[in-house]
Chains A and B, each alone.
Chain A
Amino acid sequence: MPAVSKGDGMRGLAVFISDIRNCKSKEAEIKRINKELANIRSKFKGDKALDGYSKKKYVCKLLFIFLLGHDIDFGHMEAVNLLSSNKYTEKQIGYLFISVLVNSNSELIRLINNAIKNDLSSRNPTFMCLALHCIANVGSREMAEAFASEIPRILVAGDTMDSVKQSAALCLLRLYKTSPDLVLMGEWTSRVVHLLNDQHMGVVTAAISLITCLSQKNPDEFKTCVSLAVSRLSRIVSSASTDLQDYTYYFVPAPWLSCKLLRLLQCYPPPEDGAVKGRLVECLETILNKAQEPPKSKKVQHSNAKNAILFEAISLIIHYDSEPNLLVRACNQLGQFLQHRETNLRYLALESMCTLASSEFSHEAVKTHIETVINALKTERDVSVRQRAADLLYAMCDRSNAKQIVAEMLSYLETADYSIREEMVLKVAILAEKYAVDYSWYVDTILNLIRIAGDYVSEEVWYRVIQIVINRDDVQGYAAKTVFEALQAPACHENMVKVGGYILGEFGNLIAGDPRSSPLVQFNLLHSKFHLCSVPTRALLLSAYIKFINLFPETKATIQEVLRCDSQIRNSDVELQQRAVEYLKLSSIASTDVLATVLEEMPPFPERESSILAKLKKKKGPGAVSVTELEDNKREGGELNGGGERGPDTSAMSTPSPSADLLGIRSAVPVGAAPASAGSLLVDVFSEAGPAAVSAAVNDDGFLRFVCKNNGVLFENQLLQIGIKSEYRQNLGRMYLFYGNKTSVQFASFTTTVSCPGELQLQLNVQTKPVEPLVEGGAQIQQVLNIECLTDFSEAPLLNIKFRYGGALQNLTLKLPVTINKFFQPTEMASQDFFQRWKQLSQPTQEAQKIFKASHGMDTEVLKAKLLGLGTALLDNVDPNPENYVCAGVIQTKGQQVGCLLRLEPNAQAQMYRLTLRCSKDSVSKRLCELLAEQF
């Protein structure tokens, strides 16, 4: 038993807690808890009315059990009863229970609100504070609706006690944060601002949190607070350390209020009024001066409070970014902290300096600390401090120190913590590219990056190095030599093999003169890695081989031999087999001229439209540079930053340029590209062109796959996977979207928007809630869409997804597979009925018909499954021709029902279908026909 038993010790509670503590095992604990729960339940249910004390004790026990991590499903009502007790302790426990176990049960909320209302109007300050605390703790919308108009009144009323004012201010803040639309300050604005002048320091401290939040949202309405804040700050800063009595914390006058005032001022630009500004600059100087004074106490609390104000003042100086003198002083102060023996101060100094590095006035001053920061990166024991050091190095990097910083970061990478490697790799890649003057340095850096941390090098990084090598002929020979050397290592990373394969395939001829790197040596080197590689890398190597045949005719026989062997030409992987077969054929039937044209060196990657924003709108890989960085990097005409989505094996991407596949045959020629001669030639050779239209704006790859099914993967790229599960009933549907982060880095600012373009918004009602803005690496989050079909529709809703990955904004728009057939109700009918109705729907506009070639096998079971997936009833023994399929269904919309009949007539010999639809509404026939023609 504890020694302390203040106030009313609840003995039963103490005994229970002791029992729990004495439990030897988890099972024993659960047993004891279940016993207690049974006891409490019987007490609550018993005929005898419980007295207030017992009720309080049992509610308190329930609370304890809940806090141990067990679920509590009763006792709420008893807790609510306690609220209306006139005994303080009972009320207090009741409120505590409600605050901890919020229940959105609307019945209960009404009762709770009632009790709160009574307490608010009781004029008993202690009761009022309890009620305000409860509102702030729960903070639900229902409470905001009930009290948002009452609380401002309490806050500014002349006769409100100070302690109640404090609670009212912060309670209002909480409600404003949850439901800003319900908190209307309007008439109260100026009186709230004037709370900054209040005599009572506690009231000012509480009120300023509210004022800061309101100022952020409505800066104009609250701008009078600036001069009030400055004068209040000035009074505190100039006061002696004991003037403020109780509000002095370890000899620092009002540290909380000071920081809040400095934070409030950061919502505004520097004051325009000269006098106010002068006074503020004076305050900031005093704060900076005080940092140099000897401490008034050796306690860490003293220095923490003092430095808290100092850091907040520095934030304000950085925010103003207009006083060179103060900025340089701030930087010097932080420089001192960089070497402070307190780890906390070193951490914060590194963090603060990051923001300082971006100011033109202080950038140079920050750079003088480079050695200290590098040292921190090497020697700090705490990984979070090292992380900050790496961030700062990145922020202070410019042309003059890039080589040094990149070298240091690379050497740190060898021992870096796994948790920060991926980020470090991106940073090195970005810096190397941004500040590359000498491209051989750039190539060396990226290859080193792959060597040291190959697993963490994302595709975008190695795409980029290839892109740059292709665009700059001065570095091609060097690159070929370097990758050749790098590949000599007995164990080299697969990413190195990819880069090596690509570069030697393009530029191997530049080093072929040296007998040590003769064509055959090059080929043998590459091929020695082949069997250890994954399928995509092997595919890339095969493409490199065919390029070798063109570059070095003497290797033709050897390479053909390789292509011809069973492990290639009969490879179980379709892609590899296809490449082997096609390349073999190409190399044996095409004339040298044709071969030379087809296998020409890759053309330079086109410069993107110069507008940076246009670039950002496109899909960007991580490693792409952020907006500001792009802006100050115009020297290379954007060529370097040309987006990471190009490169080998990305032919599925939507870049309107020659396919990024080495040869451009993987999925035929992208539509929209000026068809390169290579492309059309290949079509001639293989007389085959696949469908390759990929809309640049909206990705609808997945869309048509979902016409006949409800679940599956809608979209997938290197970063993100989107899965769908959906169910429909009548005219309503529910769709679950699963967003999976495939990387190990979190996505920030993750937002999704569903929109119905054009007239669709009148036809379809889609509702959803916003998703969590953060998706952790490897995590999956879910979003639910509720869909209501108002009337028939032809378009599809659009899903837009935005998030930040490694600092780069990703933006993606997909068509959501909500199609009219989802609202089908199957209708069974006999042959006679079917044809009778068929005849009734005989107006020419009611029928839609299409004859098309089968694009999949004509397997009966598959066809049946698809037709059932469509949502209609598949009718047997209706059509006189048993080969044909007929279906019937009714589309349910809110406004009307549309009857639909379908007939699908396969012709196995010609591999063709004839599809006929007859519906009671013309537009439905047409739409269904369009959708279905793509399915078989």
Chain B
Amino acid sequence: FPAFCHQRPCSLPERGLLLLMVLVFLEGSVLPLGAASSPDTSHQTNLGDHQGTHTGPNSTKKPFPVLAVEYDRVQIPFEISLWVLLASLMKLGFHLIPRLSSIVPESCLLIVVGLLVGGLIKLAGEEVPPVLDSRLFFLCLLPPIILDAGYFLPIRPFMENLGTILMFAVVGTLWNAFFIGGVLYGVAQIQPANPSDLHQLELLPCLLFGSIISAVDPVAVLAVFEEIHINELLHILVFGESLLNDAVTVVLYHLFEEYAGVGTVTLLDGVLGVISFFVVALGGVLVGAIYGILAAFTSRFTSHTRVIEPLFVFVYSYMAYLSAEIFHLSGIMALIACGAVMRPYVEANISHKSHTTIKYFLKMWSSVSETLIFIFLGVATVDGPHAWNWTFVTVTVILCLVARVIGVVGLTYVINKFRIVKLTTKDQFIIAYGGLRGAIAFSLGFLLNQDHFPMRKMFLTAIITVIFFTVFVQGMTIKPLVELLAVKKKQEAKRSINEEIHTQFLDHLLTGIEDICGHYGHHHWKDKLNRFNKKYVKKCLIAGERSKEPQLIAFYHKMEMKQAIELVESGGGVKLPSAMPSTVSMQNIQPKKPPPAKPVERVLPQLPKGREEEIRKILRSNLQRTRQRLRSYNRHTLVADPYEDGFSDLLIKKQRMVELEKKMSNYLTVPAAPPDSPTMCRARLASDPQAYSMKPVSDSVPTIQVDLASPQSPDSVNLLDEFRHAGQQQPEVEDQGLMMKPPSGPSGPNKPREADEARDQQKLMRCLSDPGPSADEDEDEPFLP
């Protein structure tokens, strides 16, 4: 693609732009045409029928209509599909134009497109469809985004910063709401000389407006922050805040809306409001957690019906959202809780393909939803109704900024007293600047009743202005500002096994030190929860052997799996596309020297030469082909010292995988790596759920224990004994759907190989025809890491 650009400068981007324009025009024209044509066709058919029945038996037979147009029947699904198609094509278009997407965030472009489409529709003289209908928004467009966010929420940083996040979400939003509402009321009341519309504004509607406009919007935050790749802490702080402030918004909104008609709010109402807040928040979380556990439990039994596994995840989550909405609890928190709770257990139970399916469906839906939301925002802006009031709007915009800054600074001052890793001024600036408003505010405003709130139009105008301001101005400038301030960026999440080992080690170390200090702190409780989880919960919710698998081993298997997939995808036999190609192999690690006491070079000199030859011959006959084939690899070259125990199981495994992948490569579709769009980045860099990895194969890994040190027993006999022994140890492997049971063959050298083969085949079967995950960076986030 870049090469093209060089040869024919700017032809492709220009084409892309042209395509974009054409699409927008098409869209704009089809929709009103669609609306216009339906009454015509129905009219025609009516006429036709009428004529037919009227003329009766002596009517001339109409020729059979070979082609008829009946738009009415399919109008609604047709228009919906058209919108979705437009949204997706827009997304495509933006990424064909390389420079544009790096300067302007996607959300801005989409709003502009929405404006264009809305404008076109209006020009065509048609009624703009009320696209940002609140029901549509809250029930269809919002849940996928929130579920995507909740399912892939990085639990560890979230929990570590929960106190800070809650402070910002609850106290910060409250402060914003009351400050903005109060000051707006004050401003509205001044200028008694020339009475304006503003004087009609009472306190309660002001406060309601304040509460609507003060909430940081998760959709907007996600859209903008995805592209700036900021460090994990800041990202989770702003994003977590945007998710958790939903409860506050819900309570405040209902409280003020309820009493706006009456006109006053008493102290009792205030107290009830506070109680209501706890009910809403905790109730939402509880509902979500219940559905999450149900989903996890269900997934335990899906080993025979793998195809519908993803369905359970989606349906349970949506049910959680809807159930919370029934009781006016916080649906967003329910969704987050459901996703976060179910994930570690579901991931351990479902197949690899289901895992990929879930990931891709969530990303797809949330991406489409987000695109649609921004386009609809644009369309709704054109639609109006607007009531522009300079004072109100400008004061609102300024107040939003001021309140946010004061709130963040003030809260940070308090929070830093309790935090160990303090928030610096730079951090505070980003947090304050990242407080974007979005479509949720608009929808909430849209929901307002015109009778109770005569100033509704003015509110809507102001809300839209604030949204535009935050998304355009703040959204576009945050990236250069981040660069300017040299804020720490997100590190490439290449989780190495060393980091994983040491993360675990640190956890235990810090818990131990805390215990020695006698201080029951953060680590102590985390450790307790982990142990509770391991002992009781995992046994309930995870099927089979995997419930006992320790986290480190799970991680290791996952890495092996990933490498296996990479191996398979690269066509096998080629140099591995590893980040740091090196020529280091196991051989370099395995100590050639024996433990320090023994002399150098030869491992065990006690053995007579003839013995050695025999052993070497036996081993060579088993491992000959492996060595030759594997020599071409780098990382996985296991041309290790055959007299070192333990390595040979790895050897056999790798050898089997090589053979298998040669067979399997026929069935695989090796895809192109997905482009680096923000949503794909989200898929890649966002904390990826723990990939399903095989059941631990280590249970009965047959080891060729060539015990050379013991000169007494003939080693060839030992070998065979080991094989037989290992073969018998093989456990009953559970049915895993597509699986090849290891054939109960004859004992001897063949058996462990086949066992391994079966196991490896299981591994590969599970990842077959699934092109996705290997390209992505998986960030392992177990339950309570």
Instruction: Please say whether chains A and B are actual partners in one complex.
Output: no
